[in-house]
Chain A
Amino acid sequence: MITLPLPILSTDRCRAVDARAVAAGVPGLTLMHRAGQVVVEGLSARWPWVRSVLVVAGPGNNGGDGYVIARRLRDRGVTVTVVAPMGLPVSGDAHRAYEEFQRAGGTVKNGETLVFDDVQLIVDALLGTGLSRDVAGAALAAIAAMNDSGLPIIAVDTPSGLDTDTGQPRPDSVRATETVSFVASKPGFYLAEGPDRVGRLTLDPIGVPAAAYAGERSVLEPILPDLVRTYLPRRARTAHKGSHGRVVIIGGAPGMPGAVRLAGEAALRAGAGLVTVVTHPGHAAAIAMARPELICLGLDAGGSVRAVLDAADVVAIGPGLGQTAWARDWYAEAVACGKPLIMDADALNLLAAEPTRREGWVLTPHPGEAGRLLRSDAHAVQADRRGSVLGLAERYGATVVLKGARTLIASPGRPQPWVCLDGNPGMATAGMGDVLTGVIAGLAAQQPNPFAALAEIAAVGVQVHASAGDLAAYASAYAGERGLLASDVVTALRAAVNP
């Protein structure tokens, strides 16, 4: 699990921190020297076999970092080629860094096209944060050439061309193998296309004093291990199944028993004491036979689930629910019941068709469902994931889990969403969302007062789900992202909920 010692700050706030550091007596050129040194040390440690580097340097401060890196690498005996497709720095600290490089005997191929002969690694110091306009011309061509080279790329502060506030490439960005970022992390690394572009992220404060961060708040909050441990304490030795709550999960339209079964098993693996699956009578017996620990109740349309809901500590609805009359009846009963409620899949589509507000609920949309809930579309949601999750929480009075690469969790009254830093692309498969629904319900059921802590429980649930996904993908005997099944994650949950 990654923990961030540094906040995630927008371009403006990062600049404010930089400015305070300079005002406190740390010169800008010193920060540039340290930034370059951090990259060179990381490069030497993680890429010990690299003896020939191409530095692609821009005319601004990002390029200035690049000239420091080029000079230090030469000091270490690495063969360095510097290209400046956008020209040389003409002023400020970047110009001084260039002059230092030149005085040390370095030369620059100014404006030439990129040649990768004998190059083993690229340092991308072309463009930094705070792009004022879309990238075009020689810079855009250089970004494409770096990506097409197939070589490992270390991005300095940010992959060039990435909007570090939104995570959108403008219109293209470097796809880095690793990014070494300074002073603070950037929201764009966690949003939209960002997670695909930054590669492995390393952060370094480069000696900016703590006082320079005064008053700054991370715009996204990583889910920290302490929060997870708070909700997953060691169990009392005297525990019995009644201590761990009753979950009721409603779903599974005719022909769709899988989703609700996965959610039910996930709730059990998350530690719930008793899990009842309410589903279509056509397959209730089949689910019970596949997982005998689940209590399965087959109900026809017209039957009431009220008595079942009354006995529950937590209710979840949606996996494989469908939108038939059968589904609508139970949806209405679930929304009306006074229990903590987790809503997913078709329950969210029913909600989007007839929006309402309620106390004590968690919505877990993927971007498509989020788009419907916001009366926009998935594309608009992805373009502004942070704004979307905050907007949804506000509109529905709910804790909202916006799924995707770097899942976000927002809740009314909390100014900043949480961001999950774990999980992997193997989890983008059928049934994975059903497992998440079950996990959140299962964790909520174990709390003495789930209403009071639903937002934190949802964040912990997302983290546990992601950790289990990583265990299943990387730490099993049959490791790998491709081919990972939701069932594999259910199996790995037990390790993740016993931290």
Chain B
Amino acid sequence: MNRVLADEAESIRVGEALGRALDRQSAFVTLTGDLGAGKTTLVRAALRSLGHTGPVRSPTYSLIETYVVSSGAVHHLDWYRLGDDSELEALGFRDLLGPGQSVLVEWPERMPWVAQRADVALTLAYLGDGRQLSAQALTPVGDAVLAAWMTEIG
């Protein structure tokens, strides 16, 4: 799926649709994009649509932020400061990949051997005043997420 997000309102609308899609089909999603490309905007909108009302913090220093929502949990991770597998293990990562739990990972390239199990690869890039969103399915679960996402966007 490729889509131009003309402004922030559109980014929020598409992000909310992503939240509802993940509510239907939980998944492991990688997030790629330069600073300010809108990753946090997308994640915040997804969490809002899942009923989360509190703050949404960047996981840059905490490494993981977990949000409990009605359908389960959403884990937002930043792997930039991770050194090796053992640190991922220490975060309990293997327990995060389960039914009803979605995992959104920034800086997946730090752990390619883990990131290759992702269901969806999501990219945001600057495009004039807006953003170019690309989402590619890598697994059957990813196919289901993209189908649900497109339905939710309408």
The residue in chain A whose Cβ has the minimal distance to the Cβ of B106 is A49
Determine if B109 and A49 form an interchain contact, defined as CB atoms under 8 angstroms apart.
yes
Determine if A470 and B121 form an interchain contact, defined as CB atoms under 8 angstroms apart.
no
Determine if A45 and B136 form an interchain contact, defined as CB atoms under 8 angstroms apart.
yes
A46 is an interface residue with CB less than 8 A from chain B: yes
Partner of B141, one of A45, A152, A477, A479: A479
A-B contact count (CB 8 A): 60
Q: Enumerate A459-496 residues with CB–CB distance to B below 8 Å.
A: 470, 473-475, 477-480
Determine if B115 and A478 form an interchain contact, defined as CB atoms under 8 angstroms apart.
no
The residue in chain A whose Cβ has the minimal distance to the Cβ of B85 is A150
Contacts of A286 in B (CB 8 A): none
Determine if B112 and A152 form an interchain contact, defined as CB atoms under 8 angstroms apart.
yes
A177 is an interface residue with CB less than 8 A from chain B: yes
Chain B proximity of A47: nearest CB distance (Å): 7
Determine if A49 and B141 form an interchain contact, defined as CB atoms under 8 angstroms apart.
no
Q: 1/0 per residue A24-52: CB within 8 Å of B?
A: 00000000000000000000011111111
Chain A proximity of B154: nearest CB distance (Å): 20
B144 is an interface residue with CB less than 8 A from chain A: yes
Determine if A48 and B99 form an interchain contact, defined as CB atoms under 8 angstroms apart.
no
A151 is an interface residue with CB less than 8 A from chain B: yes
B130 is an interface residue with CB less than 8 A from chain A: no
The residue in chain B whose Cβ has the minimal distance to the Cβ of A473 is B140
Partner of A477, one of B100, B109, B134: B100
Q: Enumerate A119-151 residues with CB–CB distance to B below 8 Å.
A: 119-121, 149-151
Determine if B116 and A177 form an interchain contact, defined as CB atoms under 8 angstroms apart.
yes
- Summarize A's interface: helix, strand, loop or mixed: loop
Determine if A49 and B108 form an interchain contact, defined as CB atoms under 8 angstroms apart.
yes
Q: Provide the bound-state CA to CA distance between A152 and B139, in Å.
A: 13
Chain B proximity of A436: nearest CB distance (Å): 20
A218 is an interface residue with CB less than 8 A from chain B: no
Partner of A50, one of B25, B109, B136: B109
Contacts of B25 in A (CB 8 A): 474-475, 479
The residue in chain B whose Cβ has the minimal distance to the Cβ of A422 is B140
Chain B proximity of A379: nearest CB distance (Å): 30
Q: 1/0 per residue B58-94: CB within 8 Å of A?
A: 0000000000000000000000000000000000000
Partner of B144, one of A47, A474, A480: A474
Q: Enumerate A251-301 residues with CB–CB distance to B below 8 Å.
A: none
Q: Provide the bound-state CA to CA distance between A474 and B26, in Å.
A: 10
A200 is an interface residue with CB less than 8 A from chain B: yes
Q: Contacts A478-B99, A479-B25 given: A51-B109 contact, CB under 8 Å?
A: yes
B123 is an interface residue with CB less than 8 A from chain A: yes
The residue in chain B whose Cβ has the minimal distance to the Cβ of A149 is B113
Q: Provide the bound-state CA to CA distance between A41 and B138, in Å.
A: 15
Determine if B138 and A474 form an interchain contact, defined as CB atoms under 8 angstroms apart.
no
A323 is an interface residue with CB less than 8 A from chain B: no
Q: Provide the bound-state CA to CA distance between A219 and B136, in Å.
A: 30
Q: 1/0 per residue A133-177: CB within 8 Å of B?
A: 000000000000000011110000000000000000000000001
A424 is an interface residue with CB less than 8 A from chain B: yes
Determine if B121 and A151 form an interchain contact, defined as CB atoms under 8 angstroms apart.
no
Q: List 20 A-B contacts (CB under 8 A).
A: A46-B121, A46-B138, A47-B121, A48-B121, A48-B134, A49-B32, A49-B107, A50-B109, A52-B109, A120-B109, A121-B112, A149-B113, A151-B113, A151-B116, A152-B112, A424-B140, A473-B140, A474-B140, A474-B141, A480-B98
